Amino acid sequence: MRLVTQNLLTCQVKACMDTAATPDGGFLSYPLKVVPDAGGLKQVASPFDEGVAKSILPRLDWAALRKTAAELGVAALPEEVPAGAESDAGFLRSVYALVFDIHLEEGNLLCPHCGRAYPVRKGVPNMLLRDDEM
């Protein structure tokens, strides 16, 4: 699972969703914390696509990406997306490498609000809920 995917996911447990909203419009259940197993986080190089990098940049939740990158120790990102980032090839390359080349192969995605762990096996997050969680 790439970090771009993790940047989109949130806890889907009904009780969590019902209590996770914050007054500022955010959610206590986002972002899901990446907890890799030993050796479960890998870097797999992929060809850089500037068009994809430019189109994904405004869609990323920058604060969530920054938090995840810091927790994993894979990148130090600025607090805000720099002005003119869309035309800075070096910046686009580094963001592209972060969101598309860092893979969680084995581990868990952990909800920071309710503590629900979503297992990731062979790079696939299992977001299925039990009956009592719906």
**Spans of all domains in the chain:** 3-133
pLDDT band for position 44 (cuts 50, 70, 90) = very high
9 — pLDDT class (breaks 50, 70, 90): very high
Q: Give pLDDT, residue 112.
A: 97
* Highest CATH level, class, for 3-133: mainly beta
Spatial contact of 113 and 28, defined as CB atoms under 8 Å apart:
yes
Using an 8 Å Cβ cutoff, are 41 and 123 in contact? no
pLDDT of residue 55: 96
> Which pLDDT value is given to residue 104?
98
φ and ψ at residue 3, rounded to 5 degrees: -65, -25
Share of the chain above pLDDT 90, in %: 96
User: pLDDT value at position 36?
Assistant: 98
- DSSP-derived 3-state class of residue 44: coil
Q: How far apart are CA 108 and CA 10, in angstroms?
A: 13
* Mean per-residue pLDDT, 82-106: 96
| Confidence at 89, pLDDT banded by 50, 70, 90 | very high
For the segment 14-31, the average pLDDT, to the nearest whole number, is 93
How confident is the model over 62-88, as a mean pLDDT? Answer: 95
46-62 b/e (C-beta count within 10 Å ≥ 16 → b): eeeeeeebeebbeebeb
